[in-house]
Amino acid sequence: MHEDLFNISKIKKAHLIGIGGIAVSADAKFLIGIGKIVTGSDMHDSEIVREVEKKGAKIFIGHKASNLDEDADLVIYSPAVPFNNVEREKARKSGIREMSHTEFLGYLSREMKTIAVSGTNGKSTTTAMLGLILEKAGVDPTVILGSRVPWFAEGNLRAGAGWRDRYKLAHGKVPLRQRRTGVPQYCGTTSFIKGGKGIRAQNGIFVVEGCEYKAGMMELNPEMIILTNIEEDHLDYYKDLKDIKRVFKKYVKKAEKSGSVVYNADDKNSAEVMKGYAGKKVGYGVEKELKIKNQELGNKKFPPEADLLQRRISLWLKPLAEEIGEKRSPNVIAKDIRIKNKRQCFEVCQNGKKLGEIKLRVPGVFNVYNALAAAAAALEIGVEFKIIKKALEKFKGIWRRFEIAGDYNGAVIISDYAHHPTAIRGTINAAREFYPKRRIIAVFQPHSHNRTRKLFNEFVESFDEADFVVLQEVYDVEGRENKNDKISGRELADAVRQRRISCRDEACLRRQALPRLRRATEDVIYAKDLKETGKILRKEIKKNDIVLLMGAGDIFKLKV
């Protein structure tokens, strides 16, 4: 798409298909915010649908041609909405402009100086962290992401500089939490923030998730790319990991001439993608010596804190460290990682210079990496470390990312979006880190038959650290399922159970696993739906348990 082919100021009415999704709903809020008439449709009523309705959108449940008004100027659709959707067909027959969600983000990225956060895991959290850092620095960014952020007035959207006057015209005032004005106070004279002329400089900075599904990130036009990690996923679109890396290699070249790439130097696949990249690049990672030192601890007996650190290093970092090789040389490094008073503490160094300590409120080694990514990007564009530190230490997490959702009979209920084996393993390990003496109940709703089938063995291994596992039926993803990929959650439960029976070596389960194996046939249960899952949990949950509700479907709706 080219700038001269689309002008948002000429749009009066837009219709959004899949408006109940976390991504497209942000588009709807943005358009409503700048005074556009918005209608939309979704297959299901939901909290998000009702939220957007309250903003002023007219929303239909179910897809019908009659939902789309003839006088609409634009149709935006979710990537999951197929070409033959009846509303899309009517749009084409009526000559109404069609645009995917990622194409719309691409348009916005041409209107603003853009930082795109991409990768298999950690996109939403890293985007939120960087958004908070820039907000605290007075940069006043526009942010769109695939989650809800408690301190953003619109949750999954923050409308920043450049769009403020349009919000004023549409609503007469600016949301209180977004009244930040003026030039950045702490950012020196960096050209990224202050430099440039024309519409992009006037509209400010845009921080956005660049999703890899259907290569959606290729629609963006970023000055900076943050690459969190690269793994096999979305194999209903990509052929294999090689294909994924090929597309990412093409993607990072978007920033090669005049921008920069901030990438995870500890991730083998990201490092491979960056080979041959001729532009400016900034690597981030965890102190290599720390990883090697703790990998050598073996199975000896250590004080609880040292044993915990050894386990988190071996579970999360060792697989990466073994593949990195000696050429790894990150610019921004976390050193001396430790847990103290329910905080993840670590020292940050940039190019060998110690900047200071950060104490994260959110658990998990993956969040150390997310924080490093946001910090490295902020440092690159000129934000002082003291502002980065202050922002990250205030960060309390976002919707469905290790979110405390409630309690039941003295047990803590945590909701998490984890739907990839690496994310599941990381979430369970995070619970182990912050609640080392508690029983962990992992509840997982597989998302997409294709992902479940293609990554089956990885899923089976990802529950090793859980004490009790409930595996629900696979969530059917609208518009993405193929009957040849059909697989049952029962098959996954059987395989996890069999692994526990056969894998009696403590080194394999990485914990004192034998007591659990004595009841291995009982501690992995299949549930056909949310109702049955709730029934199982009400019977099984004990005081002080930690219950993890994981998945990208509707598992978060579970009522215990």
Alpha helices in 256-384 (DSSP H): 268-274, 288-295, 304-312, 318-324, 365-380
Q: Which of 189-198, 205-214, 263-272, 348-357 has the lowest mean pLDDT?
A: 189-198
Give the pLDDT score at 300. Answer: 37
- What's the pTM? 0.84
**Quick one: three-class SS letters along 84-124?**
CCHHHHHHHHHCCEEEEHHHHHHHHHHHCEEEEEECCCCHH
* pLDDT at residue 305 is higher than 90: no
Nearest CA-CA partner of 220 in 259, 246, 264: 259
Give the pLDDT score at 289. Answer: 58
* pLDDT at residue 321 is higher than 50: no
Strands (E) located in 183-331: 205-209, 224-227, 260-264, 280-286
Residue 424, SS3 per DSSP: helix
Q: How much helix, strand and coil, in percent to the nearest 5, is found in the chain? A: 40, 20, 40
Instruction: Please report, in range form, the residues annotated as the binding site for ATP.
Output: 119-125
Give the pLDDT score at 513. Answer: 46
- Residue 339 — pLDDT band, cuts 50, 70, 90? confident
d(CA 160, CA 132): 12
- Residue 325 — pLDDT band, cuts 50, 70, 90? very low
d(CA 131, CA 395): 11
Q: Name the percent of the chain lying above pLDDT 70.
A: 80
Q: What domains appear along the chain, each with residue ranges and CATH number?
A: 11-100 (3.40.50.720), 112-394 (3.40.1190.10), 403-557 (3.90.190.20)
d(CA 399, CA 389): 22
Beta-strand relationship, 113-118 and 224-227: parallel
- Residue 436 — pLDDT band, cuts 50, 70, 90? confident
d(CA 363, CA 377): 21
Give the pLDDT score at 550. Answer: 97
- Residue 518 — pLDDT band, cuts 50, 70, 90? very low
* pLDDT at residue 231 is higher than 90: yes
* pLDDT at residue 34 is higher than 80: yes
Q: Select the highest-mean-pLDDT range: 18-27, 231-240, 298-307.
A: 18-27
Burial 40-64 (b: 16+ CB within 10 A, else e): bbbeeebebbebbbeeebebbeebe
Tokens for 485, please give them: 């990929």
d(CA 461, CA 455): 10
Contact 32, 12 (CB under 8 A): no
Contact 120, 234 (CB under 8 A): no
Tokens for 459, please give them: 């899923």
pLDDT digits (tens, 9 = 90+) for 161-216: 766 556 555 555 544 344 343 334 434 435 565 544 444 555 689 999 999 989 99
Question: Which positions ≥6 away from 411 have C-beta within 8 Å?
Answer: 441, 541, 542, 543, 544, 545, 546, 547
d(CA 231, CA 269): 7
pLDDT digits (tens, 9 = 90+) for 44-80: 999 999 999 999 999 999 999 999 999 999 999 998 8
Listed as own residue / partner, the contacts of 347-352 with beta carbons closer than 8 Å and 24 or more positions apart are 348/372, 348/375, 348/385, 350/379
Q: Name the percent of the chain lying above pLDDT 90.
A: 68
Residue 78, SS3 per DSSP: coil
d(CA 524, CA 200): 53
Give CA angle at 143 (141, 145), nearest 5°.
165
* pLDDT at residue 517 is higher than 50: no
- Residue 133 — pLDDT band, cuts 50, 70, 90? very high
Q: Which of 69-73, 136-140, 516-520 has the lowest mean pLDDT?
A: 516-520
Nearest CA-CA partner of 371 in 137, 120, 192, 133: 133
For 355-418, give the DSSP string.
Answer: EEEEEESS-SHHHHHHHHHHHHHHHHTT--HHHHHHHHHH----TTSSEEEEEETTEEEEEE--
- Residue 559 — pLDDT band, cuts 50, 70, 90? confident
Q: Alpha-carbon dihedral of residues 178, 183, 184, 190, nearest 10 degrees?
A: 140
> 170 vs 345, which has greater pLDDT?
345
Q: Which of 51-65, 125-139, 200-214, 346-360 has the lowest mean pLDDT?
A: 200-214
Nearest CA-CA partner of 369 in 117, 60, 99: 117
Provide mean pLDDT across the span 360-372: 95
pLDDT digits (tens, 9 = 90+) for 93-123: 999 999 999 999 999 999 899 999 999 999 9
* pLDDT at residue 522 is higher than 60: yes
d(CA 57, CA 39): 5
Q: Which of 209-223, 263-277, 399-413, 513-527 has the lowest mean pLDDT?
A: 513-527
pLDDT digits (tens, 9 = 90+) for 459-507: 999 999 999 999 999 998 876 767 788 999 999 999 999 898 876 554 4
Q: Which of 187-196, 276-285, 386-395, 525-534 has the lowest mean pLDDT?
A: 187-196
Instruction: Please report, in range form, the residues annotated as the binding site.
Output: 119-125
Q: Alpha-carbon dihedral of residues 103, 108, 113, 116, nearest 10 degrees?
A: -40
Q: CB count, 10 Å around CB of 12? A: 12
Give the pLDDT score at 519. Answer: 45
d(CA 544, CA 530): 23
